[in-house]
Amino acid sequence: MNPGKLATQAARSMRRYPLRTSLMMAGIVAGIASLAALASIGEATKRETMRRFKNMIGTFDTIMVRPGGGRSRGMPTLVNVPPTLRFDDARAIATNLPEIKAVAEMQSAFDIDVKYRDRAASPAVFGVSANWLSLRSDEVEQGAFFSEEQDQSLARVAVIGPELRKSLFPDDDEPLGKTIRIAEVPFQVIGVLHGRGAGPAGGSLDNLALIPVNTASRRLFNRDYVTMLIAQLKDPSRSEDAVAAVTALLRERHHIRPPALDDFAVTNPAAVMARVTQASGTLEKILTGVAVMALMVGGIVIMSLMSIAVSERRSEIGIRRAAGASRGDIVMQFTLEAAFVSLSGGLLGVIIGWGGLEAATRLQKLPPVFVWQPLGVSLLLSLAIGLAFGGYPAWKASRVDPAQALRS
């Protein structure tokens, strides 16, 4: 048996009957096209969600603690902050828990006017500790972030987001060293953040001003409670343990005994992320199921047309057997033929599916979604279908009795 020569024969007979070949391919083309498109959309959506999520959270080796009780899930909101989580809670978490490497504090306010000369904007104003930058894996593009000493000495310095910079310093003015007024308190701009782009909900994450958290607490907001704590984990793979430890510590400090409700909530971004991708994973599974059904239909079409072809091609089988083809040769040749048909259908389907997707994203002005893995998987799948559904007709072909087939 020589697979190369048999493959040549298979490819020739595929070309010899173009109508039958295209009929056999049709189902596969449709199935693979939709599968390739769906899978690409699914994969691209997942990646985009992950990217935006990461934009908002920074790194995945942190957990978040915010005030207010209940078992509310999802991302913390920053308005209407209950006064239950305090600075000394943050210090206790940082010093008492071995699971935690560092804690960053954050206070926030919205709808505060920020002015530079005659320009005004209302960004989010965050008071954050000096280690904020590293915990969020944020970057300063220009200038510097404030230091621990500046935080302790209640320095009036600010680091602004690129969008706020654009609204306050529109003409490419140099913002560093300029004095802006936050709620009429003068602050010196010492840095500009790197842009983060859109969050999971689509809003911008760049319209903000960061000031030292102690400055914010004493000079601006006059609060000794925080909007949120971010705790960095020593071991990111054991985030659930850290959540449990933080919860236990805070319950003790706040004198809470279940069934009394917590007056704080701990969020584990890694877990939330897992839920989000799992949710989009279910949708993907349903869509994939539909496409796989289409492929099954395509496979069955191949199987039935091939079976019909086997009876039509009895004399060809007889001729080949007389010329020395063994049963194995016949099985191989017909299986290869089905595999080629199916693979060509798959190739065409991938091109159509991907082309359709390209056209759709262009039309909708969405970001391009080329992800090659689903396309490769689709191709392999079409090959597998050809082999699986071509196998039975090929076996039937090999059982044709040559003496009978040659009797005319």
Partner 1 sequence: MIEMENVTRLYPRGQEIIEALRGVSFRVLPGEFACVRGASGSGKSTLLNILGCLDRPTSGTYRLECDNVSQCSDRQLSAIRNRKIGFIFQSFNLLPRTTALENVEIPMVYRDGRVDRRRALRALDRVGLGGRASHFAAELSGGEQQRVAVARALINDPALILADEPTGNLDAAAGRDVMRLLQDLNREGRTILLVTHDDAVASYASRELLLADGRIASDRAAFTSGPAMGGSR
Site membership for partner 1, residue 20 (CB under 8 A): no
Is the Cβ–Cβ distance between 234 and 98 less than 8 Å?
A: yes
CB of 311 or CB of 326, closer to partner 1: 326
Q: Which of 72, 137, 311, 326 binds partner 1 (CB under 8 A)?
A: 326
Q: Which of the stretches 8-16, 110-118, 159-167, 371-379 binds partner 1 when contact is defined by CB under 8 A?
A: 8-16
Site for partner 1 in 342-401 (CB under 8 A): 401
C-alpha neighbours within 13 Å on the C-beta side of residue 179: 5
Binding mask 214-253 for partner 1 (x = CB under 8 A): ----------------------------------------
The answer to whether residues 107 and 213 touch, using CB atoms and an 8 Å cutoff, is: yes
Given a contact cutoff of 8 angstroms between Cβ atoms, the answer to whether 124 and 108 are in contact is yes
Residue 19 contacts partner 1 per CB under 8 A: no
CA nearest 30: which of 341, 339, 345, 388? 345
Total chain residues near partner 1 (CB under 8 A):
28
Q: What are phi and psi of 146, to 5 degrees?
A: -80, 160
Per the DSSP assignment, residues forming a β-bridge with 105 are: 229
Among 67, 212, 374, 402, binds partner 1 (CB under 8 A): 402
Q: Please identify which residue in 74, 83, 281, 328 interacts with partner 1, judged by CB under 8 A.
A: 328
Shortest distance (Å) from residue 340 CB to partner 1: 16
- Given candidates 19, 323, 363, 364, which one binds partner 1 under the rule CB under 8 A? 323
- Residue 229 backbone zone (phi > 0: left; psi -120 to 50: alpha; other: beta): beta
Neighbour count for residue 172 (Cβ, 10 Å): 8
Give the whole-angstrom CA distance, residue 70 versus residue 264: 8
The residue within the footprint of partner 1, chosen from 2, 80, 95, 364 (CB under 8 A), is 2
- Kindly state the tokens that stand for 308: 């019909």
Distance (Å, whole) CA 63 – CA 243: 7
Report the residue from 71, 255, 257, 407 that binds partner 1 according to the rule CB under 8 A: 407
Pick the closer one to partner 1 by CB: 33 or 400: 400
- To partner 1, the closest distance from the beta carbon of 343 in angstroms equals 21
Q: Within positions 259 to 318, which residues make up the interface with partner 1, using CB under 8 A?
A: 315-316, 318
Q: Is 74 helix (H, G, I), strand (E, B) or coil?
A: coil
Strands (E), 144-227: 157-160, 179-182, 185-193, 208-212
Stated as kind and residue range, the H or E segment containing 269 is helix 269-312
- CB 401 → partner 1: shortest distance, Å? 8
- Binding interface with partner 1 (CB under 8 A): 2, 5-6, 8-9, 12, 16-17, 315-316, 318-329, 401-403, 406-408
